[in-house]
Chains A and B, each alone.
Chain A
Amino acid sequence: LDALLPGLPPLVALFAALLAGRLPIELAAASLIAFAVLLLYVASVEVSLPEAAAFLDRGMCAKEHFLTLATLREGANLRPVVEAGAIAIARLVPEPSLPPRRSRPLAASMLLSVVGFLLLWLVPELATVAATGEPLDRIAAELAGSPSAADRALAAELRELARALGDARLSSDQKLSRVEELIAKLDRAARERLQLSAAGSSGGEGEEREQGRQDQAGGQSKAEGAGDQPSAQGKDQGGQQGGPAGDARGRAREELAKLAGELSAQAQSKSGEGEPKKPQPAGGGIQAPQGAEERKAGAEATAGNQPGKSPDQPGGDQKPGGQQGEAKAQAGIQPRDQAQGQGPTNAGGAATDGAGQRSSLGPATKADRYYKPGEGPEGRIIDGRYVRIRVPEDNQLLPGTEEVAKPGEVAPEVGYGNAPLPGAGPPGKISTEQAVPLEYRGALGRAGE
């Protein structure tokens, strides 16, 4: 127990984190426990002879026999009587279990405790395991019950991935690549299903669906690159396929996209730890994650529908470094979505409602097409770096006043910081102005609006 004492708090924290999936909070708790244990250690590191004798008295139900013998001077007349009494007690009563011996120096205890904490910091993958292993297994279990052989194979792959994510020997980059592989596989399967269903359908629905196919084919490479887009695609396609298996595939796609975002964020944070911090501009504000810039680069690299390119061409994938850009784009989009408080599922859902099969391109693609950096629909800002917000004020009414707005309604103090106000709304939204794609702005003389 003595050897385990300094390691106990980190171990307790680790198990609590694994159970709750919230490692940082438990780390804070563990530090408190560690300090308490160390204080306890310091307080009781010295045991005097009277204390030891008193312990024996308590443990053996003696009436201060041992305390008297331990503290009295030799040669007292009645001392032999006390000794005889103590011997009789020692013969009758079993020895009490002694408390743990604490002979280790305090410095060693503290050092071991600190090592335990460092160990925790060096294995952050455990947090990922704790936080994400379960949903994947759940989805895999759902897919395993599907009659389709492809779904069952996907279930097996999901389980395999979940195990890989729990493997502490794998680095974040390795895990990220595995997740991306599975995402790509899911997307390919989805496209194949889409093509099959399109081929089998009648021509009555023709024009719009044909357009959707073209859009989808054109954005194929982008679908692989954008981390938040294919979730909508998966969901939509899952819905087309129908049944619980399709829904599970959609959720698997969402989970994988989320995982990819987290893993890439981890990788970025690790790589960014060694770099000096950039100076922060005065005036405060919330800084958007660095992923936004990378996303921009990735989007450019993967843009299959950029001006001057045929949407049917594989696009940016063919460019040197395109593969890297794809991975970065996946990594970059996710944090941006998180920063704006808007998950990929929401974006996908909104697009599905409005545009049927064309929704396979996802709203982000549309936004990229219609808005340049600094603009954005629905309060989102493409590549926005700094925003100024006003926190919600207390909703309690003062006596004699009345409420004129809905509770919780928040009005920004300034539109949205130093970014220019957005122009027309997103495609499909009722507006007095027609949304103008970026590539046409120059031609129409509305660039820079």
Chain B
Amino acid sequence: MMDDREGERAMGSAAGGESASARIERFRRSFLAIEAEVGKVIVGQHSVLRKLLVAFFAGGHVLLEGVPGLGKTLIVRSVSKALGLSFKRIQFTPDLMPSDIIGAQILSENSAGREFHFRPGPIFAHVVLADEINRASPKTQSAVLEAMQERQVTAFGETYPLPEPFFVLATQNPIELEGTYPLPEAQLDRFFFKLLVQAPGPAELKEILDRTTTERNPEASPVFAGDTGRAQIAAMCQLVRQVLIAPPLQDYVVALIAATTPNAPGAIRAVNNYVRFGPGPRAAQAVVLGAKVNALLDGRAHASFDDLVDGVLPALRHRLILNFQAEAENVDADTLLTEVLRGLRRP
């Protein structure tokens, strides 16, 4: 093993002046600052907020699920504010059309005559909140697909790139399912994490009352601002990709995906009984990238086993398509995943 100073020199050369450990420390401080700013507005929900930011820096999108009134929209708005990024909200309704999201050709008249030009829709923002996404028709939902994955929009034969960073936060209500269109598997797979927003506890509820029924009106301040801020965010996202992960840990993720795929070698009996479709490669990517962000938050340049396990439930729960038997027996994805994790051998 090399000496400490030798290591530092190597790190410095690798980072083009700034040492790797300094970059990791800066990442950690920035991340915690964003959390603190959002925490001024949002009471509790620490886990949701942490994982939401993890998904953001890993370059993914998040599906938030919770009953109305838990602050889902407020979280998203506060995060965008703290990140200093543009924010657009789209309220999904059954009559919402794809053009309402991605934009439309507008006929305009000028000195040269009449011509169509593209007017961008609300999808052209850094942070997009797709509120109650399951209320729109599949046609409209699918309009978001390309945007989420390719980070570009095609309208009238023209392709328009979306701004970087691009972050979609969709919310859906687990109740009042009448008149809704459940998200198709293909679209669910596009979401990096699915986070469950829980109701606040008594102490948190009291704090919410204090903040919302008095003259205090806390607001999140932007941690990053302008082009410099976006460059910083891009650097942070790039650092996430550089975090190391040992091959045995990757093997563990592969085994995890196999264990949750029905009729695959290594699948447990419960998975074979209750799962219709298992998670795909995007699930494995989400677990690994989430682990990398967790490692940076812990000040490490390599992912650990605990970092991996921390992201398994949010990354896989919406990618596990359960069958009717599971629904009849009230078996949910989290229970199955916990059982799978218990049965897998740690590397």
Contact = CB atoms under 8 A, between A and B. Distances in A.
Given A78-B242, A82-B244, A68 B7 contact: no
Interface string A54-75: 1000000001110111111000
A90 B249 CA distance: 22
Contacts of B245: 68
Given A67-B347, A68-B246, A79-B244, A84 B302 contact: no
Nearest to A48: B248
A166 interface: no
Contacts of B8: 80, 84
If over half of A's interface residues share one DSSP class (helix, strand or loop), that class is named, otherwise mixed; here it is helix
A80 B248 contact: no
Contacts of B63: none
Interface string B20-64: 110010000000000000000000000000000000000000000
A87 B245 CA distance: 18
Interface string B243-274: 11111110000000000000000000000000
Contact of A84 (B7, B247, B303, B347): B7
Contacts of B246: 50, 64, 67-68, 70-72
A63 B244 contact: no
B82 to A, nearest CB: 27
A189 B24 CA distance: 98
Pick the most buried of A50, A77, A81, A86: most chain B CB atoms within 10 A of its CB: A81
Given A64-B246, A71-B247, A82 B2 contact: no
Nearest to A88: B4
A263 B98 CA distance: 101
B11 interface: yes
B302 A78 contact: yes
A50 B249 CA distance: 11
Q: How big is the A interface, by class? A: 20 to 34
Contact of A78 (B3, B243, B248): B243
A338 B121 CA distance: 104
B107 interface: no
B298 interface: yes
Contacts of B249: 64, 67
A87 B21 CA distance: 14
A349 interface: no
Given A77-B242, A87-B1, A68 B302 contact: yes
Interface string B293-314: 0000010111111100000000
A449 interface: no
A81 B347 contact: no
Given A77-B14, A78-B242, A78-B301, A84 B21 contact: yes
B244 A68 contact: yes
B311 to A, nearest CB: 15
Most A CB within 10 A of own CB, among B8, B15, B347: B347
B303 A64 contact: yes
Interface string B185-220: 000000000000000000000000000000000000
A88 B242 CA distance: 22
B21 A81 contact: yes
B80 to A, nearest CB: 30
B231 interface: no
Contacts of A83: 1-2, 7
B7 A72 contact: no
A82 to B, nearest CB: 5
Interface in A354-408: none
A81 B247 contact: no
B155 interface: no
B74 interface: no
A1 interface: no
Interface string A80-102: 11111111101000000000000
A87 B8 CA distance: 12
Contacts of B300: 63, 81-82, 85
Given A71-B246, A72-B246, A72-B247, A80 B302 contact: no
Contacts of B347: 50, 54, 67
A67 B249 CA distance: 9
A234 to B, nearest CB: 69
A63 B304 contact: yes
B298 A63 contact: yes
A99 B152 CA distance: 56
A72 B319 CA distance: 30
Contact of B4 (A78, A82, A87): A87
A120 to B, nearest CB: 39
Given A78-B20, A81-B11, A84-B4, 14 more contacts: A64-B303, A64-B305, A69-B1, A70-B246, A71-B247, A77-B14, A80-B6, A80-B14, A80-B20, A82-B302, A83-B1, A83-B2, A87-B1, A90-B1
10 contacts: A67-B347, A70-B246, A71-B246, A71-B248, A77-B15, A78-B302, A79-B301, A80-B7, A82-B244, A82-B302
